[in-house]
């Protein structure tokens, strides 16, 4: 049982325990600097405080608890990728990579070592099965659904996973904690930030962790979509597709970052209409519901976690997928995930090129 010290994983453990499962709790030790930053802010799944809370709850619920040290893997894989993507003009989603490569990979390996049949988490998601394949399904509480961050999970991952909260709403989870006498837990807040950037300032993180950052990635030109110079920016990694606020330039009308050219150190600004697109390319595709998909498969494509998704047609092409959206969408951002749905079922996903 992956335990963060928060309400979701703790209630998930309670439910599995009541269903008769024999549990072993595991909490990740991610990164010492992260832990200290989170501790100073008294929140975050990565804090030392959270590790102690997870251990305390495991002891109170009557099962053993382990701390899984993933600091080196996390630094070499997740943080390195996060930095590299920004330095190439992309906007990464580190949670997607961490879930598949770090959390599930290391957790399943530990489950094998401990002789456990399954792994479980407090994610709001469900698992379906059809045609001999496993696939994700949206959690009942669509406001909390987390399938967008889990699209890279493999068939082996899904076959071993339990999601005890998939059929519950967040309100019901809080009520469960309260009814079992955990009033403080039932009121516990949650962080929406990237775990290793607790202040949500990725720009400061890059400046701190990239050698000679300000000299190497210094000021350049804002240009419009025709290439006309509009002013100076503070270095292309400091901007993301769709950004409107904080540009530091006044043009008399709302302008958005519509593309980034890292080779020329140019940030292209345009109108809302110029920000929109109807086609995308998805690389590093992972299919869940089907082993392969036919040309022209109709899906709902979701390009942001909080995005409702739009109808789209998928066209498999030489290891990637080209998508045609039926209506224009904002901010098709390289580095972000696009996830394909049929109703509540996850067909698969990929990384926007």
Active site residues: 98, 195
Q: Give whole-number Cα distances, 240 to 67, 82, 92, 259, 310, in Å.
A: 35, 13, 10, 8, 22
What is d(CA 135, CA 137) in angstroms, rounded to the nearest whole number? 7
The sign one gets for the Cα dihedral 49, 55, 61, 66 is: positive
Largest CA distance in the chain: 67
What is d(CA 25, CA 286) in angstroms, rounded to the nearest whole number? 29
Tally of CA atoms within 13 A in the half-sphere of 58 that contains its CB: 23
Q: What are the residues whose beta carbons fall under 8 Å from the beta carbon of 169, sequence distance 6 or more?
A: 140, 141, 144
What burial class does residue 113 get, using C-beta atoms within 10 Å of its C-beta: 0-12 exposed, 13-18 middle, 19+ buried?
exposed
**Both tokens of residue 68?**
């899984």
């Amino acid at each position: 049982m992956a335990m963060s010290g928060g309400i979701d994983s703790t209630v998930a453990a309670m439910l599995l325990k009541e269903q008769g499962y024999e549990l072993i709790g595991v909490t990740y030790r991610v990164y010492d600097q992260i832990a200290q930053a989170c501790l100073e802010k008294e929140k975050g799944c990565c804090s030392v405080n959270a590790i102690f809370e997870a251990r305390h709850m495991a002891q109170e619920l009557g099962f053993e608890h382990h701390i899984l040290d993933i600091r080196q893997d996390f630094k070499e894989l997740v943080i390195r990728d996060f930095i590299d993507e920004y330095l190439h003009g992309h906007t990464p989603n580190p949670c997607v990579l961490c879930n598949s490569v770090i959390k599930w990979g290391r957790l399943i390996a530990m489950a094998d070592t401990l002789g456990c049949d399954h792994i479980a988490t407090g994610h709001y998601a469900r698992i379906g099965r059809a045609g001999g394949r496993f696939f994700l399904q949206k959690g009942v509480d669509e406001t909390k659904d987390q399938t967008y961050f889990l699209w890279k999970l493999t068939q082996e991952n899904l076959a071993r996973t339990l999601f005890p909260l998939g059929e519950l709403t967040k309100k019901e989870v809080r009520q469960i904690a309260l009814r079992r006498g955990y009033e403080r837990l039932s009121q516990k807040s949650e962080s929406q930030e990237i775990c290793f950037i607790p202040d949500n300032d990725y720009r400061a993180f890059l400046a701190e962790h990239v050698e000679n950052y300000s000299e190497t990635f210094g000021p350049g030109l804002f240009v419009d979509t025709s290439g006309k110079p509009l002013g100076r920016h503070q270095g292309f990694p400091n901007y993301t597709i769709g950004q409107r606020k904080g540009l530091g330039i006044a043009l008399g009308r709302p302008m958005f970052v519509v593309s980034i050219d890292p080779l020329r150190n140019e940030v292209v600004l345009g109108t809302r209409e110029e920000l929109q697109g109807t086609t995308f390319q998805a690389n590093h595709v992972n299919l869940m519901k089907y082993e392969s998909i036919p040309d022209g498969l109709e899906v709902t494509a979701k390009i942001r976690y909080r995005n409702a998704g739009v109808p789209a047609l998928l066209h498999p092409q030489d290891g990637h997928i080209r998508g045609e959206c039926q209506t224009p969408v904002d901010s098709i951002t390289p580095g972000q995930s696009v996830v394909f749905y049929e109703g509540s079922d996850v067909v698969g996903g990929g990384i926007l090129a």
